[in-house]
Chains A and B, each alone.
Chain A
Amino acid sequence: MGIEILFLVLAIAVVAFGIGVIVVSRRNIAATQAPPARPARPTTPPPEAEPDAADGAGVLVEEPPVEPVEPASLRDRLAKARLAFTGAFVGVLGRSGITEESFEDLEEALLRADVGVGVTTDLIDGLRVKVAAKEITEPQGLLDELEAEMVSRLDGSDRTLAFDADAGGPNVWMFVGVNGVGKTTTIGKLANQQIRDGRTVLLAAGDTFRAAAAEQLTTWAERSGAEIVRGAEGGDPSSVIYDGVERAAARGTQLVMADTAGRLHTKSNLMEELKKVRRVAEKGAGRVTETLLVIDATTGQNGLTQAREFREATDVTGVVLTKLDGSAKGGIVFAIETELGIPVKLVGIGETIEDLIPFDPAEFVAALVEP
């Protein structure tokens, strides 16, 4: 037998054995006992978190600049991206009536926007029924109906960021998501806005995994004037968040924004770590009032799985859709909100601080659907 086959047999045997033990014992554990509560492990705050503390912006910001910032219009921002879409809708409107091709064009447009095959089929079937019943007869009516239907499916969600002034301690907003979606940047922008709106904010650098993630967050803290608590690289994220919350409680800071390392939702050890971070954030005086899942607009159908897994682990309360200023449409959040009931709360449409704006269903759908 060739040596490589021996390797292979060996590898498979060892892995199979290892996994067999894990799976069997895991099943037994699940059957017999609930996971024991872990005591929080308060640690001494790392020294490098000190310097800015004295002039920590939190307490000193008395007069937030009240300049009414013109919120950037999502529709304007998306104008150029929309061009890519025009094709399908020109097709629909270019026909004198509604034909099979009209449905195919719309279907393709929705699929291209990453809305997903299930939702798309459902929407198109609805249109077919209405057309068959002569409720819609004109091509423009077809587009209007599609848009109205999509907007109505997004109606009625509460998209405000939950802040409880009577929490008896700092509110904690946690940011979770897979790698590279823009969690740290989102925190930076949102911290800026919150401080401007008069809240005192502390950033907790819970991404202890990615090299230099804490530096990146520190840069944002300096820009926004928020306090920051950091831990050692590779350290325990739970203790960083815990320290952040304790520090905020001691100083009367109102809001802690907790960054976490990006993680693929398939890595169960990392998802367990995230659950722990979520628990520990409420060990002390703090209360987690928002857990925001950050999703990048380029994300495809995997976004739905991400949302499901992160919700399972951390009780996600809202979605932040980032990078909507590119050519991607972010249609997957439509599926996430309508199928999982997690409201989209914020949208990132550019690099500046003002480019993080509240999610507006009508504008979002219009950007998807209008020619």
Chain B
Amino acid sequence: MFDNLSTRLEGIVKKIRGKGRLTEADVDEVMKEIRTALLEADVNVAVVRSICNRIRETAIGATRSSALDPAQQVVKSVNDELTRALGGETLSITYASKPPTVVLMAGLQGSGKTTNSAKLAAWFKGQGRQPLLVGADLQRPAAVEQLRTLGRQIDVPVFSDPSDPVRASAAGLEEAKRLGRDVVIVDTAGRLSIDAEMMEQVRQISAAVDPDFTFLVIDAMTGQDAVQTAEAFHATLKIDAVIMSKMDGDARGGAALSVKEVIGVPIAFASTGEKLTEFEQFHPDRMAGRILGMGDMLTLIEQAERAFEADQAEQAAAKLMEGQFTLDDFLDQMQQIKKMGSLGSLMGMMPGVPKELKGAKIDDDDLKPIEAIIRAMTPDERAQPVIINGSRRQRIANGSGTQVGDVNRLVKQFGEMQKMMKKFGMAGQKPGKKGKKGKRSGGPKGRGLPPGLLDPNAGQGIDLPGLPGMPNMPGIPGMSNR
């Protein structure tokens, strides 16, 4: 998400970079572009206006000062505004002193309440809690059935009562107490914010369960209506935070920004894929960095930490640095990576990934042939791909159901990667400490990525002046002519 916005901002910055001074005409043009960029990202009209006014002031200031590169100032100002608009801090979840902690899920039809209820339950489980899901959506045919299926997948019990949503919710709370579950998530029916009767019903549910948190689920693809909807729900329910669903699509996210700005509640979670684990806490500052095309390293690291077996990964990383990484290790790590989420979403978080690559749609299924090829190799071949000659290639291709050319390419790429990693390994030894520190204090400007990643020979990935140069995604020969 947010890709269009960051692409556009990059274009704007390109236009003004290198100018020693900005004229008023430059500012007008920049502001027009920023406005269009925000509107195309579905940021609410009123929010666009106020953000633009503030950025304009900075930009006008930049016309007078010659101390800093004006482009830098504009980028900084856009970045500051976006961060501010997205909200400062991550919502911290506190638990009721007298369990269970009750969470109420509300939203329009099709926003993703049921799926996100289950994802949230899985998240709570990951935090060491024992959630209970309560199906109070008796409106949509088979909604409770859907919740039960999801509950089975994450091994969380589901309670429902077909008689009445308010009664089902209240009974669900009692059930949780009886079972000793310490978190209750109530999935309600989708409803229109202008449907008085249905809004009254959800108010009654809320009154019956007295939630500690009321989450509004909003589809990241929502347009201008996001604000109206959020306002209406907020007026009825007092929303504590928003869950943005379907954030794995392209180009959207303006709704997120607008809702925060207009009703003042934070975005607590973001759903980033179809898998039930693709759900994470929302970090506004990281998101602003992502908007500006800086990737989202902290999230990536967290996901990696969650997915990897620490010892094993450390070993593998060491091997990698020393250039002793084998195809077997690769295969192992590939399995770990898969646990982190889909390749596409990982790509989105990496800084400096060329646009062509982000545009190249990558699915996990695409990995299957790679896996098949490696599995068709003997242990010796995996350890030392150089020994793979013509007849071995043919055998591997036959064994994996691929073409000899595919095998060739894989072996060649692997060689490239080994070479590259060796180089990184050496570059990474020296200034290692600084990189870590910089990243932690990171914030959206996140200066100083792990230096091991910076290949001195790689071209600049993105043209953002004033921001740390990100390397091109290294080791992908053939990408440049795409």
Question: What is A's interface to B at a CB cutoff of 8 Å?
Answer: 1-28, 80-81, 84, 108, 111-114, 116-117, 178-182, 210-213, 215-216, 218-220, 233, 264-269, 296-303, 305-306, 323, 325-329, 331-332
Q: Is B246 an interface residue (CB 8 A)?
A: yes
CB of A5 within 8 A of CB of B146, answer: no
Closest CB of chain A to B370's CB: distance in Å?
A: 6
Find A332's partner among B223, B344, B405 (CB 8 Å cutoff): B223
Q: Give complex CA distance A111, B227 in Å.
A: 13
Q: Which residues of the partner chain B approach A9 to less than 8 Å between Cβ atoms?
A: 317, 320-321, 421, 424, 428, 450, 452-453
Find B249's partner among A1, A6, A216, A302 (CB 8 Å cutoff): A302
Closest to B229 in A: A327
Q: Give complex CA distance A268, B40 in Å.
A: 23
Q: Give complex CA distance A51, B292 in Å.
A: 57
CB of B436 within 8 A of CB of A2, answer: yes
Q: Is B435 an interface residue (CB 8 A)?
A: yes
Q: Give complex CA distance A329, B316 in Å.
A: 54
Q: Give complex CA distance A117, B148 in Å.
A: 43
Q: Give complex CA distance A331, B223 in Å.
A: 10
- At the interface, is chain A mostly helix, strand, loop or mixed? helix
**6 nearest CB pairs, A to B:** A300-B223, A180-B110, A211-B149, A6-B317, A300-B42, A268-B361
Q: Is B36 an interface residue (CB 8 A)?
A: yes
CB of A20 within 8 A of CB of B475, answer: yes
Find A302's partner among B112, B147, B252 (CB 8 Å cutoff): B252
Given A2-B436, A179-B246, A211-B150 in contact, is the A19-B347 Cβ separation under 8 Å?
yes
Closest CB of chain B to A332's CB: distance in Å?
A: 7
The digit string for B341-384, where 1 denotes a CB below 8 A from any CB of A, is 00110110010000001001111111101100000000000000
- B195-225 interface (Cβ within 8 A of A): 219, 221-225
Given A18-B370, A20-B477, A265-B249 in contact, is the A111-B409 Cβ separation under 8 Å?
no
Q: Is B192 an interface residue (CB 8 A)?
A: yes
Closest to B366 in A: A22
Question: What is B's interface to A at a CB cutoff of 8 Å?
Answer: 36, 39-42, 45, 108-112, 140-143, 145-150, 192-194, 219, 221-226, 228-229, 232, 246, 248-252, 254-255, 297, 300-301, 304-305, 308, 310, 313-314, 316-318, 320-321, 330, 333-334, 337, 340, 343-344, 346-347, 350, 357, 360-367, 369-370, 405-406, 409-410, 413-414, 417, 420-421, 424, 428-429, 432, 435-436, 450, 452-453, 473-479, 482
CB of B450 within 8 A of CB of A5, answer: yes
CB of A18 within 8 A of CB of B350, answer: no
Given A1-B428, A10-B333, A180-B110 in contact, is the A301-B41 Cβ separation under 8 Å?
yes
CB of B313 within 8 A of CB of A6, answer: yes
CB of A111 within 8 A of CB of B45, answer: yes
Q: Which residues of the partner chain A approach B225 to less than 8 Å between Cβ atoms?
A: 114, 297-298, 326-329
CB of B297 within 8 A of CB of A8, answer: yes
Q: Which residues of the partner chain A approach B333 to less than 8 Å between Cβ atoms?
A: 10-11, 14
Q: Which residues of the partner chain B approach A21 to less than 8 Å between Cβ atoms?
A: 370, 409-410, 413
CB of B421 within 8 A of CB of A326, answer: no
